[in-house]
Amino acid sequence: MTIRKLRIVEFIIIGLVVNSLDNVIAVKYAAGAELNWGILARIFIFVVPFAILSELIVDHPEFWKKIMRFLKVEVEQVERKVK
């Protein structure tokens, strides 16, 4: 299995399925709401963007390299201004 396929499987299983179940449990027990297709559709609509953000963007191998490079540039600029 290629890395790309593995990331898609991870996105589907962890990002969509597990997060959806987590939200269903929260809605059912914390809010005490009656589960129906409308509630499940709303849960899924809210899960998809967060799953994309967490599993496909933040967990990408290059993401933290880019963030650290960006922060390093910012730190150097601040240090120059202080001196």
Sign of CA pseudo-dihedral 51, 52, 58, 61: positive
* Weakest mean pLDDT among 1-5, 21-25, 33-37: 1-5
Nearest CA to 10 out of 51, 62, 63, 50 is that of: 51
- Give every CB contact of residue 33 below 8 A, 6+ residues apart in sequence: 27, 39
* pLDDT (average), residues 11-30: 88
Give per-residue pLDDT as tens, 22-34: 999 999 998 888 8
* Whether pLDDT at 9 is above 60: yes
* Whether pLDDT at 81 is above 70: no
Give per-residue pLDDT as tens, 37-70: 999 999 999 999 888 888 777 777 677 777 777 7
